[in-house]
Amino acid sequence: MIEVDHLTKRFGSVKAVENVSFEVEKGEILGFLGPNGAGKTTTMRVLTCFLPATEGTARVAGFDVFDNPMAVKRRLGYLPENPPLYGEFTVNAYLDFVAKIKGVDSRERKKRIEEVKDRVSIKEYGNTLIKNLSKGYKQRVGLAQALVHDPQVLILDEPTVGLDPNQIIEVRQLIKGLSGGHTIILSTHILPEVSMTCQRVVIISKGRIAAMDTPENLTRQLQGSERVYLEVKGPETTIKEKIKEIEGVLRVDSNRLDADGAYSFAVETQLKKDVRSRIARKVVDSGYDLMELRAMSMSLEEVFLQLTTKEEGVRGQ
Amino acid sequence: MKNVLAIFEKEIKSYFVSPIAYVVLTVFLIIAGYFFYNILTIFMERSMFAAMQSQQFGGPPPSIDVPALVSRNFFGVLSTVILFMLPMVTMASFADEKRRGTIELLMTSPVTNLQVICGKFLGALVFFLIMLLPTMLYQIFILIYSSPRMAFGPIFSGYLGLLLLGGALISLGVFISTLTENQIVAASVTFGAFLILWVIDLSARSGGTTLQEILSYLSILNHFEDFSKGVIDTSSVVIYASFIFLGLFLTFRSIESLRWRQ
């Protein structure tokens, strides 16, 4: 449904997004996870035809965002970080205007507006001025605005930012309820948010994709363990056994390096337990040649340090 | 066309849900009413004075066309007053959309930039027309109570001229509004630009050198005078149309460049 291919966006000499490629399947919720300033909003703005890409292409529902922006815009609902609302309008007047410029047929307009109001549960606020609504309800009106023309693709930029814990839970449930019918990209810097709502996560940092996987895999990979990489000359299985004896080691994977009988080992260890010296001693004491030993630096970890991994007061559903 | 209409409707609605519209309408009406009253009394006194003089000294009856003079001078005053009022009409048009972030909504909706600009321009122009409507009452008063009955032509051409002049000023104001997200800045710069147009007009009037002649051709305020006298000069219409086109073209380029600059 959405194909992004080697997308680069430069602002002057600053690269906001560099060589980003990913795809989103129909009906999927993709989480866009990254610290502030990582390039999430920029990528989304390119997808919504708001900004042109410097290099690379992006296609939404089969249409190129640069060559055929009108076709893309018709099929796309977008909720920017600050919902684009006219405070002095009532909810009904506002949604009516949006429905008109989104090309909703005049005969269906009233029905559609009622439907989306029902969907985001703001039915009783139709005649309220938007500026008098609470932040959570403004966010809902923003969502209603993105949904009013029943788009195939929904792009939501930090939809829960600035909401209180109860509102966050409500908005997340709402988004989850939308999957299936719509293909959704959602950006956030909150780790639990993606694990709760998304089927797949793209982690983006400093404009580049750092990882792409399911939330479960990523969380396990990153929060449970650290990794040590070593190269040893010697028998594969024996060394594996020896390393496994060390306290704190969770898993050992090995690979044959070359014909000399050298192997590489990736050792997964528990968090905060530096076992490098013990591994080194064990290997040398056993009489094998230790060629290399280092902690695997995972750029992802750095990314995660900047992410919000815990939420005060927001209980998981 | 449907999209232009949707934007236009939204603009008109936006004017009347904000207090600015009512303030502008009220202030404009007070000023226009005050000047109409003043102009009317001045010319009535003058014609009465002239009539008395001719009675006393037995000269020929005075040839002062009071209705035409009042109407013409009133149009002149209106054309100056709108220089002060129109910046407040156009200041929000794009600046406010940028501040609210709703420009993102407009630019990610299936409407073209041209449609947005046309809708906004028409919205401001129609609001200006609504401002002018009550002043038509004054002109109708002159028309009814003048004897012999005053010609209708100059009133029509006067309002046509005001609309063209207003359109030119609005297109400039809308363009300036795209350059900032602060309404006050937009209004101030627009007002400054209008003042420059005024200065051009004043310096064009003050002499007869070649430069001043060129200036008087370019001065959009100067061209209004013909309209208030009942003359619809094609060259004036062309000047106004070109000015409006230029303003909208600059607006278009400015909005397009917004995407590339950010």
> Domain A2-220 carries which CATH code?
3.40.50.300
Count of the separate structural domains present in chain B: 1
Domain with CATH 3.40.50.300 in chain A: 2-220
Task: Tell me the shortest Cα–Cα distance from B249 to chain A, in angstroms.
Answer: 20
For testing contact with chain A, the best of B96, B108, B112, B118 (most A CBs within 10 A) = B108
Tens of pLDDT, residue by residue over B194-226, are 999 888 888 877 767 787 778 777 788 888 888
Contact list in A for residue B111 (CB cut-off 8 A) is 101
Domain with CATH 3.30.70.260 in chain A: 225-302
Nearby residues of A37 by Cβ (< 8 Å), 6 or more positions away:
none
For testing contact with chain A, the best of B104, B106, B116, B117 (most A CBs within 10 A) = B104
DSSP helix/strand/coil, B233 = coil
In this prediction, residues A255-269 reach a mean pLDDT of 79
Can you tell me the ipTM of this complex?
0.88
Phi, psi at B153, each rounded to 5°: -50, -55
Contact list in B for residue A49 (CB cut-off 8 A) is 107-108
For residue B44, the model assigns a pLDDT of 87
Query: Cβ B110–A88 below 8 Å, yes or no?
Result: no
Structural domain containing residue B154: 2-261
Contact list in B for residue A97 (CB cut-off 8 A) is 6, 9-10, 13
pLDDT of A315 higher than 60: no
**Strand order from edge to edge, sheet including A289-295:** A249-256, A262-270, A225-233, A289-295
A66 has a chain B CB within 8 A of its CB: no
Which stretches in chain B have pLDDT values below 50? none
| Closest Cβ opposite residue B110 in set A73, A88, A93 | A73
Tens of pLDDT, residue by residue over B141-180, are 888 887 777 788 888 999 999 999 999 999 999 999 999 9
For residue B29, the model assigns a pLDDT of 94
Q: For domain A225-302, is the CATH number 3.40.1350.10?
A: no
Taking the C-alpha atoms of residue B259 and residue B262, their distance in angstroms, rounded to an integer, is 6
| Closest Cβ opposite residue A88 in set B18, B103, B108 | B18
Query: Cβ B108–A78 below 8 Å, yes or no?
Result: yes
β-pair type (A183-188, A29-33) = parallel
Task: Tell me the shortest Cα–Cα distance from A168 to chain B, in angstroms.
Answer: 22
Taking the C-alpha atoms of residue B213 and residue A18, their distance in angstroms, rounded to an integer, is 57
B17 has a chain A CB within 8 A of its CB: yes
